[in-house]
């Protein structure tokens, strides 16, 4: 047998062993959500609400957290109407560790423990770097990174005491590859990605498995909640198009299904959507070429008009082409929606 054939057989054998080991670990780690206690941050609408709805369909007891109590109560009522075993809505600003501690304490007082934490809360700022201030970066870090940190730190004593826990951090593609005109968001997501990977390594021996979720842009209407700076209307248009066009974006339903599969199987990470998977592969194989291509793409994005103008939220803008596509966002991404 030639050396090349031996190498090929060895590689195939090694791949088979790796695949078999992974399948065995999944089968050992797999859990069911029935009667599990699940905390979800950013759960009042969009992806967080869909994650909660899918967990409720599997029999989980839900603890929903977000800043807007009225929206949370609407989500609670809708989930109970759909047959959720139990839903507890707690108005929480994840930037405040005291409020997060209170959220966890209330969940433990009601249910006696916490099995799963989904860190989903996040904010997005869109615009060129010259329009971004230190406060924009600080705000992104406080919600996207520190919010997940505070929630994780709050649940760990309970999870360690019961020698079991699952934690999922919704990182996004922005934690794998820097996205132009979204630097505060990207910086915070890179921090969250590193935290997720390191935490996975240190907690696995305690039977607490941490999963990173890396979806492509999701069709949840997130562009209406984004904060736009520089040429706000032009920034809104390109970001809204990327957020709503099927093919470039991925449905929140699909991301939520993949999230729960990864959490229940105890996976280290889940990259969702072909754009995200493609970019991850290309970034690993051809980092310099990808950097050049992204640099060319940046030249197509809007330039700043007034770098000192205050940020505008997407829902305040109208009259762009993206508004027509926004109407096509699948129903069911918000409480009370059909589907």
Better pLDDT: 15 or 216 = 216
Tell me the pLDDT tens digit for each residue of 186-212.
999 999 999 999 999 999 999 999 999
Say whether pLDDT at 242 is over 70: yes
- Percentages helix, strand, coil for the chain (3-state, rounded to 5) are 55, 15, 30
Q: Which CATH class is domain 30-326?
A: alpha beta
Tell me the pLDDT tens digit for each residue of 23-67.
666 667 799 999 999 999 999 999 999 999 999 999 999 999 999
Provide the pairing of β-strand 125-126 with 227-228: parallel
pTM given for the model = 0.86
95 CB burial (10 A radius; 0-12, 13-18, 19+): middle
Q: Find the largest Cα–Cα distance for the chain.
A: 71
Domain ranges of the chain: 30-326
List active site positions.
185
The pLDDT confidence band at residue 171, using thresholds 50, 70 and 90, is very high
Say whether pLDDT at 333 is over 60: no
Rounded distance between C-alpha atoms, residue 154 and residue 151, angstroms: 5
């Amino acid at each position: 047998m030639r050396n090349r054939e031996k190498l090929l057989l060895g590689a195939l054998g090694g791949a088979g062993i790796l695949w078999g080991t992974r399948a065995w670990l999944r089968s050992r780690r797999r859990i069911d959500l029935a009667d599990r206690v699940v905390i979800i941050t950013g759960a009042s609408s969009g992806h967080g609400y869909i994650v909660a709805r899918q967990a409720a369909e599997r029999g989980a007891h839900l603890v929903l957290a977000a800043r807007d109590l009225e929206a949370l109560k609407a989500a609670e009522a809708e989930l109970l109407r759909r047959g959720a075993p139990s839903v507890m809505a707690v108005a929480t600003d994840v930037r405040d560790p005291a409020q997060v501690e209170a959220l966890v304490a209330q969940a433990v007082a009601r249910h006696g423990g916490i099995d799963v934490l989904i860190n989903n809360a996040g904010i997005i700022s869109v615009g060129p770097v010259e329009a971004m201030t230190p406060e924009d970066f600080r705000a992104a870090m406080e919600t996207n990174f520190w919010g997940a940190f505070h929630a994780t730190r709050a649940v760990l004593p309970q999870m360690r005491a019961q020698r079991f826990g699952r934690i999922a951090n919704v990182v996004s593609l922005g934690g794998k590859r820097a996205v132009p005109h979204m630097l505060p968001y990207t910086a915070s997501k890179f921090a969250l990605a590193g935290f997720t990977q390191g935490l996975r390594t240190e907690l696995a021996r305690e039977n607490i498995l941490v999963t990173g979720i890396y979806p492509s842009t999701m069709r949840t209407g997130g562009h209406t909640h984004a904060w736009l700076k520089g040429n706000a209307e032009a920034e809104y248009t390109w970001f809204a198009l990327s957020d709503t066009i099927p093919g470039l974006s991925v449905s929140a339903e699909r991301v939520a299904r993949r999230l729960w599969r990864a959490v229940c199987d105890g996976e280290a990470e889940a990259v969702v959507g072909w754009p995200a998977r493609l970019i991850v592969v290309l970034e690993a194989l051809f980092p310099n070429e990808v950097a050049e291509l992204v640099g060319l793409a940046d030249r197509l994005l809007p330039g700043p008009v007034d770098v000192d103008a205050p940020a505008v939220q997407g829902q305040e803008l109208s009259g762009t082409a993206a508004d027509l596509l926004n109407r096509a966002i699948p129903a069911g991404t918000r409480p009370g929606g059909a589907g």
